[in-house]
Amino acid sequence: MSAALQLKKSLATAIRHEMAADHMNISTFAKRTNTARNSVRRILDAKNTSITLRTIAKAAEALNLEITLSVKKLSPAKLGKIADQYAAASDRNEVRRLEDKFIEGFYGKSIRQTHAKSSAG
C-alpha cells in the first residue's frame, strides 16, 4: 500500500470515528466544514487520495482534532526487506523500482524541483 493511501486510510478512519462519537451524519459534517456532501464522501473515502491540506485542516477543525504529519527514514528492518527484494529481483524495471525505494527510504523522499516551483507560486 502506498504511503498516500495509508495516510488517507488513517485520516478517513479517524474522521469516521469522531463523527460516530459525536453522532454526526454527513449532512451535519458538511455544514460544519462549509462544503458539499459529495466532498465529505470523498474525504471519508479511504481510497481517494486527492485531498488538499486545506480540506484536511477544515475537517480536523470541524471535529476538534489536531492533525500532525511527520516524515522519517525507514527503519533498518524495512530497509533490509527492500534490500532482500532488490537482491532477488531479476526484472530490470523491478530492480530500478526497488533501488529507488531503498534510496528514498534511506535518505528520505526528494521533492522534485518542478513540483516545488509550482507549489511556491
Distance CA 118, CA 121 (A): 6
pLDDT at 109 (0 to 100): 65
Block mean pLDDT (10 aa), the chain, length 121: 84 93 95 93 93 90 85 84 93 91 77 43 44
Q: Which domains does the chain have, with CATH numbers?
A: 3-62 (1.10.260), 76-120 (no CATH)
Give the span between the Cα atoms of 88 and 38, in whole angstroms.
45
